Chains A and B, each alone.
Chain A
Amino acid sequence: MTTFLLILHGLVAIALIGAITHQGLSAWRQPGPARVFIDRFRAVPALRYATPVVVLYVADFALGAYIYPAYVLDVKASLADFGFYLDIFLFQAKEHIAVIGLLLLPAYWHYWKVTPLGEFVMTRRFVTTLIMVAVWWNLVIGHVLNNVRGLL
């Protein structure tokens, strides 16, 4: 069951990383024709990504929080026994960065859905970019740690 939930956690994270990256890059884009790939990637209606990002983030956070005890019991102790303290540190950082993203979500929702889009533009960009960076960090670190036995 834990393996299934871990894979689901990863799959939801992949959907989330797609949504938040589209929106995060779109938030910085100046209006204009999208000729090259990166412009077409960013030329999306960013506002429409806010609800999916919140739903996916909360769902992924809940999945991660649910399976976290399995990591503490089965993985963290083994990593400590073998002296893999850097790996443990990276995962501990992941847990705090996940909380940063979670606690930013209400403000993120406010600046996308409540305030007019012409106001607080830089704050909206900052919050969105920070959540995007948090999601990228957590997916990459989670993936590395999931494969740590094969990487070492």
Chain B
Amino acid sequence: MTRYISLPVFTIVASLGYAAAVYVNYPLFRYYPLVKQFSFIDIPNRTLGPAMTWYGWIAIAIIPAIIAAVIGRLFLPARWRDKLTPLIWVVPFVVLYAGWVAEKSWLLGAGG
């Protein structure tokens, strides 16, 4: 598999994509567990119950990450890919920050 995909590039791009999706709350789709229904748009209908965005955040992060990882493996020289390694140290904290921004309202007592 590593002949066709750069795993560190996947981690970097997927993490940044997830952080961006969480930060701006832009999931690929929403899931309404009460009615077991997926939707690409936010349906403003209270009878559908709560919408879950978590799956959609992951999905929207993974798609560009796969493309970037394939491009990175096939077209980037190894020494350039190695230079991306320090980003591995940073991206988890970018995700944490985005998560904090998205969820801090719970901690501040205002609810989601």
Instruction: Give the bracket for the number of chain B residues in contact with chain A.
Output: 35 or more
B106 and A88 form a contact (CB under 8 A): yes
In contact, B33 and A99 (Cβ under 8 angstroms): no
**Is A109 part of the binding interface, using a Cβ–Cβ cutoff of 8 Å?**
yes
| Interface presence of A41 (CB below 8 A) | no
A100 touches B15 (CB 8 A): yes
Partner of A100, one of B89, B95, B103, B109: B95
Contact across chains for B7 and A110 when beta carbons are under 8 A apart: yes
A residues in contact (CB < 8 Å) with B = 65, 68-70, 72-73, 76-77, 80, 83, 85-86, 88-89, 92-93, 95-97, 99-100, 102-107, 109-111, 114, 120, 123, 126-127, 130
CA distance A109 to B1 in the complex (A): 12
- Report the separation of the CA atoms of residues A109 and B7 in the bound assembly, to the nearest whole angstrom: 8
Give the A-B pair count, Cβ closer than 8 A. Answer: 98
Residue of B nearest to A85 (CB): B106
List chain B residues, Cβ under 8 A from A68. Answer: 52, 54
- Partner pick for B95 among A65, A86, A96, A107, CB 8 A cutoff: A96
Task: Report the nearest B residue to A70, measured CB to CB.
Answer: B33
Residue of B nearest to A113 (CB): B2
**CB neighbours of B69 from chain A (8 A):** 106
A103 touches B52 (CB 8 A): no
* A residues near B29, Cβ cutoff 8 Å: none
Q: List 10 A-B contacts (CB under 8 A).
A: A73-B50, A80-B111, A96-B95, A96-B102, A103-B15, A103-B91, A105-B11, A107-B12, A114-B7, A123-B88
Residue on A nearest B107 in the bound complex, by CB: A89
Contacts A80-B111, A96-B95 hold; do A103 and B61 have CB atoms under 8 A apart?
A: yes
Q: Which single member of A77, A86, A105 contacts B50 (CB below 8 Å)?
A: A77
Give Cα A102–Cα B61 distance, bound, in whole angstroms. Answer: 12
B47-79 interface with A by 8 A CB criterion: 49-50, 52, 54-55, 57-58, 61, 69
- Verify if B22 is at the interface (C-beta below 8 Å from A): yes
Closest A residue to B50 by beta carbon equals: A72
A89 and B99 alpha carbons, distance in the complex (Å)? 10
Q: Given A65-B55, A107-B11, 10 other A-B contacts at CB below 8 A?
A: A73-B34, A77-B50, A80-B112, A89-B104, A92-B106, A103-B11, A103-B95, A107-B7, A107-B12, A123-B89
